[in-house]
Structure 1
Amino acid sequence: MPRDAAAFFGAETVEGPSWDFGRPYILRRVGAAGATKNYVCPGCNGTIFSGMSHIVAWPQEGGGRVDERRHWHTRCWDRR
């Protein structure tokens, strides 16, 4: 795994969720073909099913550690 989270292909830096005071987050969009597991969205606590496109986001300062990454429904991320 790259040490610099920005090295993830297609990643961008965006404003994070309001509950995290908008600190910078790294965001990566996962297409349906790349979504191979189920996840729980922190925005709604609903399931993101395998094969469903979604967002992966994590705090920029964390460097992309697995334990800090969260998978979001795209609509939930947009409403953050």
Structure 2
Amino acid sequence: MPRSNHPRRRRASPARGTAAGNGAPSADGELELDRARLGIPERESAPDGEWSVRTITARNAQKEYTCPGCNHPVQPGLAHLVVWREDALFGAEAGLRDRRHWHTNCWRGRSYRYR
């Protein structure tokens, strides 16, 4: 009998995101939750206004940008943040158009400038 080039399916495969199909989250379960959150920007308040902050994963970082915090490049393949003003002078759309890509540490460190 000739060999088949197609893999055979298993009858009872464990559900995705669970360990051995018993309903318990796998080690990747937390990773999947983070992946679901990445598309949703978080709101942050600072003395200079309201900001929306969205995380960009290393896999999704495709282009080079200049970080406004340190004026160094944000290299492709480096996880970083996209930040825009929610309370921009000319409206939310203008804030979104003026969004900037920050290194994560540069964005977190900027809060110390207000002390």
Q: TM-score range by the shorter chain?
A: 0.7 to 0.9
Structure 1 length-normalised TM? 0.76
* Aligned equivalent of 1:43, options 48, 65, 69: 69
- Of structures 1 and 2, the one with the larger relative CO (CA 8 A, separation 6+) is 1
Report the counterpart of residue 86 of structure 2 in structure 1.
60
Q: Which amino acid aligns with 2:78?
A: M
State how far apart, in whole Å, the 2-side matches of 1:72 and 1:65 are. 15
Matched, 1:13 2:43: yes
Displacement of 1:10 in angstroms is 1.8
CA RMSD of aligned residues (A): 1.7
Aligned structure 1 segments of 4 or more residues deviating by more than 3 angstroms: none
State how far apart, in whole Å, the 1-side matches of 2:80 and 2:62 are. 11
Displacement of 1:11 in angstroms is 0.5
State the percentage of identical aligned residues.
Answer: 37
Displacement of 1:36 in angstroms is 0.4
* Aligned equivalent of 2:55, options 12, 22, 29: 29
Equivalences, count: 68
Q: Structure 2: which 5+ residue stretches go unaligned?
A: 1-37, 111-115
* Aligned equivalent of 1:72, options 99, 102, 110: 102
Rg (Cα) greater in structure: 2
Q: Structure 1: which 5+ residue stretches go unaligned?
A: 1-7
